[in-house]
Structure 1
Amino acid sequence: MKQLVSYHKALCDETRLRIIALLAEQELCVCNITAVLSLPQSTVSRHLAVLRGAGLVEDRRHGTWMWYSLAPIWHGSQTTFLWSLLTDLRQQEQVQRDRALLSLSCAPATQEASCLSTQELQEGDV
C-alpha cells in the first residue's frame, strides 16, 4: 500500500509531471531538464529523487553525466494509468512548450551531453 501511495503522491506535482512528460520522450541528463524547466539544478534533482523513490524514474551514470529515464515498470493498472496520463500531458500547452525547448537543448543520450543554458534556449541562439 505504501508503494502505491508513494507512486501517486509523486505524480501530484506540476514540476514532476513535466519531468515525466520529458522523460517519456527520451533519456535526459539533469542539465537538459534544468534548462527546459528553467529551474535550479538542486530543485530538479530533488524532484527526480521523489520520482526515483516512487519507482517511476531510474538513473545511470555515464562518465560525469547522470542520465534519467522512465523506469521500465509497471504492473497492469499502473501501466494503463501512466499511458493515459502521458496522453493527457502531451495535450497540455506547457508540456508542448517543454518538448519544443527539449528539441533545441539536448543531444542524444548516445553522445556527450550538450547542455544549453536557459537563456540560450529562450533567445534561440542555437
Structure 2
Amino acid sequence: MSNRPTYANGKICYLEIPATDVAHSANFYSACFGWSIRADYGGNTTFDDSVNQVSGMWVTGVSPMTEPGITISIMVADAEATSNLIVSNGGRILKKMAMDRGEIIIHFQDPAGNFMGLYQGNELKE
C-alpha cells in the first residue's frame, strides 16, 4: 500500500475536529483508531488516518458537533472492541444498530462531545 493518499477531484480528505483539550482528543483518536499524530509546520496537532487517506487537525474555539446531522463514520474491523476502546478512553456510546446485511453502525461521542459514528461492514471480516 502506498503511503501517499489517493488524489481525486471530489474526495473527502481533510477534517477539522473541535476539541476542548487537543492532547486528550489526539490521544483518544490514536488509541481508538490508530491515527498517526503529528505537528504541522505551525505547531498544530494534526493527524493522518490509519490508511493515510484522510488528514486533519483538532481546533479549539469551535463548538463540538453534539447533535446528529451529517454523521462522520469511521470504518472499523470490530465495532464491539472499538466501542470498548472508546469508553475506556473517555468517549460515550450513544446508539448501536445492526443493519440487514450484517453491517453494524454505532454512534458515539468523543471526549469533546462530538457526535461521530463507527461502521463495521463485511469488507473487513476475516
TM-score by length of 1: 0.31
Task: Determine which structure has the larger strand proportion and give its number.
Answer: 2
Structure holding more helix per residue: 1
* TM-score, with structure 2 as normaliser: 0.31
